[in-house]
A and B are shown apart, each in its own frame.
Chain A
Amino acid sequence: MTVTVKIPTVLRKHTDGNATIEASGASVKELIQDIVRQYPDFKERVLSDDDQLHRFINVYANDEDVRYLDGIDTKVSDGDTVAILPAVAGGSGGSANEVSETNRSDRPA
């Protein structure tokens, strides 16, 4: 079955910029495996060495945290929505200037 997985901004550079991915699988684990097949870099971003979800990455199946369902083995079905959500800490207090020479241009990209 195919489930639409929402990818947060911070991880999109590992999914060719895609905000949603159509993934196949009957569980969260199978969905992630399918995404990793499409985007190998994605794996270490969401999974730890023991193939469990990082503790700072939440996955929601229909808005419920899978940690309180069956974890990475939580079953999914057609039409479910799955969202990946990392902890973010920004309060926009930072002041370092990271603008590089390449993005100083004001011309349309």
Chain B
Amino acid sequence: MSDFTDEQVNRYARHIILPEVGGAGQRKLLDASVLIVGAGGLGSAVAMYLAAAGVGRIGLADHDAVDLTNLQRQILHTTADVGRPKTVSGAETINAINPGVDVVTIDARLDSSNASDAIAGFDLVVDGSDNFPTRYLLNDACYLAVKPLVSGAIFQYEGQVTTFNGGRPCYRCLFPSPPAPGTVPNCAQAGVFGALAGTIGTIQATEAIKLICGIGTPLVGFLLLYDALEVRFNRVRVTRDEACPLCGSSPEIMRLIDYEEFCSR
């Protein structure tokens, strides 16, 4: 039985021929929906590989416009896109790679009022955001909705990736609270090695595709660390915190909260 069109059989031939993916895995990809939060450096690599893999519906959430300083690493956008919304530019690139992808754009900053609705229509979420409030928000929203979350972050030459699958452990188990605002330099102030965004974003895309196809072992319970300067990968354990206010044994967080709110507790 094959419901693939001839075009699909050819386009996805190199995946279909892999025994672990096969036609069944490719069908899962075509039927899957993934929300990518942040159409920046990480989101670029994630979006392009998920588009190429044939993920049927890709959500792209970002509220920024393309800036010239983005182009050193945000390969979803081109010089001609400077000044345009990243969601619009990103959707065009995704459809240029694969016109079969249904792109849903969310041109807004996610907060406690809209995050649950934003993730509701998607099977899994990939975090390529550039700030702590969004990271905690997505963690909480995905845990409460029992949705897998592939989290990646980069700073200068170093990257971190992990997958939370229905929480336990969750991002709060890994980092119970964020640094105080203003105490940690951001990428604009400290710089970021452009190709690092591709390395980490591509690992996030790999995790998402594996989860959709149900193959391999996801990075659940481990944080993968990558040091680009030393070309060194390392894995450390992420342990569930019994006292975690979200996924612990006596949870306190039952609804979404915003950064400022929990920061001042």
| A interface residue numbers (CB < 8 A to B) | 8-10, 19, 54-56, 58, 60, 63-65, 67-68, 83, 85-98
* Interface CB pairs A-B, < 8 A, 15: A9-B156, A10-B155, A10-B156, A55-B175, A56-B177, A63-B234, A63-B236, A85-B236, A87-B179, A89-B129, A90-B155, A91-B153, A93-B41, A94-B40, A95-B69
A88: chain B residues at CB < 8 Å are 153-155, 158, 160, 184
What DSSP secondary structure best describes chain A's contact surface?
Answer: loop
In this complex, what residue of B is CB-closest to A95? B67
| B interface residue numbers (CB < 8 A to A) | 38-43, 62, 64, 67, 69-70, 73-74, 127-132, 135, 152-158, 160, 174-179, 184-190, 192, 197, 223, 225, 230, 234-239, 241
A87: chain B residues at CB < 8 Å are 132, 153, 174-175, 178-179
A55: chain B residues at CB < 8 Å are 175-177
Structural contact, A95 and B188, CB atoms closer than 8 A: yes
Rounded to whole angstroms, the CA-CA distance of A54 and B177 in the bound complex is 9
Rounded to whole angstroms, the CA-CA distance of A10 and B64 in the bound complex is 26
Rounded to whole angstroms, the CA-CA distance of A94 and B174 in the bound complex is 24
B73: chain A residues at CB < 8 Å are 92
B152: chain A residues at CB < 8 Å are 91
In this complex, what residue of B is CB-closest to A92? B41
A8: chain B residues at CB < 8 Å are 158
A91: chain B residues at CB < 8 Å are 38, 40-43, 127-130, 152-154, 197
Structural contact, A58 and B43, CB atoms closer than 8 A: no
Structural contact, B178 and A56, CB atoms closer than 8 A: yes
Rounded to whole angstroms, the CA-CA distance of A60 and B183 in the bound complex is 22
Rounded to whole angstroms, the CA-CA distance of A56 and B185 in the bound complex is 14
B186: chain A residues at CB < 8 Å are 89-90, 94
**Contact flag A92-B236 (CB < 8 Å), given A56-B179, A87-B175, A87-B178:** no
3 pairs of A and B residues whose beta carbons are closest in the complex: A92-B41, A93-B40, A95-B67
Structural contact, A54 and B179, CB atoms closer than 8 A: yes
Rounded to whole angstroms, the CA-CA distance of A86 and B160 in the bound complex is 10
Rounded to whole angstroms, the CA-CA distance of A88 and B141 in the bound complex is 20
Which of B62, B153, B190, B238 lies in contact with A65, CB distance below 8 A?
B238
Structural contact, A56 and B175, CB atoms closer than 8 A: yes
B128: chain A residues at CB < 8 Å are 91, 93
A90: chain B residues at CB < 8 Å are 41, 130, 153-155, 186-187, 192
Structural contact, B175 and A92, CB atoms closer than 8 A: no
In this complex, what residue of B is CB-closest to A68? B239
Structural contact, B178 and A92, CB atoms closer than 8 A: no
In this complex, what residue of B is CB-closest to A81? B234
Give the most central of A64, A85, A95: most B CB within 10 Å: A95
B131: chain A residues at CB < 8 Å are 89
Structural contact, A92 and B197, CB atoms closer than 8 A: yes
The smallest C-beta distance from A100 to any residue of chain B, in angstroms, reads 11
Additional A-B contacts beyond A89-B131, A89-B132, A91-B130 (20; CB < 8 A): A9-B156, A55-B175, A58-B174, A65-B237, A65-B239, A85-B225, A87-B179, A88-B153, A89-B178, A90-B153, A91-B38, A91-B153, A91-B154, A92-B70, A93-B39, A93-B43, A93-B70, A93-B128, A95-B70, A96-B189
The smallest C-beta distance from B140 to any residue of chain A, in angstroms, reads 15
B70: chain A residues at CB < 8 Å are 92-93, 95
Structural contact, A95 and B64, CB atoms closer than 8 A: yes
